[in-house]
Amino acid sequence: MNSFLQPRAERYRYLPRERAARTALPWIVALMVFLATLGVAAGIGLGSGVGALGRDFRGEITVQIVEPNPDLLPRQRDAVAAMLRSDGQVSGVRVLAEAELNRLLEPWLGGADLGDTLPMPAMIDARLDRGADLDRLERRVRALSPGAVIDDHARWFAPIGTLAAVLAGIALLAAVLLAAATAAIVVLGTRAGLSRHHESIAVLHLMGAEDSSVAALFQYRLARTALIGATTGFLLAVAVILLVGRLLANIGSGLVSASYLPLWGWAALLLVPVGAVALALYTSRLTVERALRHSL
């Protein structure tokens, strides 16, 4: 930091200079920022993944027409499809073709055409409008096809979504706890500094130094320390996030690949080191002012 930002108390060395790198504080701040950045990245990544999948699944249903009688199956399928197309709360009705069904079953049953030996259900994909009454729709479907089952995609995704949301919440909570731990460490570090320089501070006070100039000196020194630590921790965390992002992209699974960091997520990550420095400055000032308040 240049001399323009240096408070007078630092320029004239009211207190002995101490090399920040010789104390544990920059390393502790680096570790805290590293962990907090990862926590926030995990929280935002999982949150956006859950959000994206939730949006995809929201309103998606599949109606399975299960009818052992092969003569009745097409009739029921067409009747249900027609009913769905005429329903005001349903859109995007699409009857899956037999070839498409075979393709879906291929991983389990192989490529053989089993249509004659294995009774296959008919399947209809559809999308419900927001606020649609699924129970009413189920009753209407069952009236046309008593064996029909409605598979609400959001229903099976819900537990996964809940788990992911809880994990995201825990990650963000961990980041908040790390911030609290950082503040506590800054308080201890500042108190140690005050104790180390107790005699000098008393002399400065008796010569008429204001609390604010002593606090500014501590803030300035802590700002440098925190900035070094926060930058180191942040850069390391970004490297890890990019590495993990590349590995996740190779997995290609729904939730995992959807868990990417949006642009605003990167901007939010940048707030972690900035917030850590700001927190350290504020905590340090508060600690010095509170401690000095006890003196005359």
Residues that bind another protein in the complex, under the rule CB under 8 A: 8, 12-17, 199-200, 202-211, 213, 293, 296
Residue 6 beta carbon to another protein: minimum distance, rounded to whole angstroms: 13
- Sign of torsion, CA 110 114 120 125? positive
The sign of the CA dihedral 240, 243, 249, 252 is negative
Smallest separation, CB 258 to another protein (Å): 57
Q: Give the residue with the Cβ less far from another protein, 77 or 197.
A: 197
C-beta of 15: minimal distance to another protein in Å? 8
**Nearest-CA neighbor of 172 among 26, 45, 266?**
45
Give least dist CB 212 to another protein, A.
Answer: 9
Angle at 156 between CA 152 and CA 161, to 5 degrees: 120
Q: Which two tokens stand for residue 19?
A: 């090399």
What's the closest the beta carbon of residue 296 comes to another protein, in angstroms? 6
Question: Of 18 and 98, which has the nearer Cβ to another protein?
Answer: 18
The residue among 91 and 213 lying less far from another protein, judged by its C-beta, is 213
Residue nearer to another protein on the CB measure, 12 or 108: 12
Residue 207 in contact with residue 223, Cβ under 8 Å?
no
**Which CB atom, from 14 or from 234, has the smaller least distance to another protein?**
14
Distance CA 160, CA 171 (A): 16
Integer Cα distance of 72 and 121 in angstroms? 11
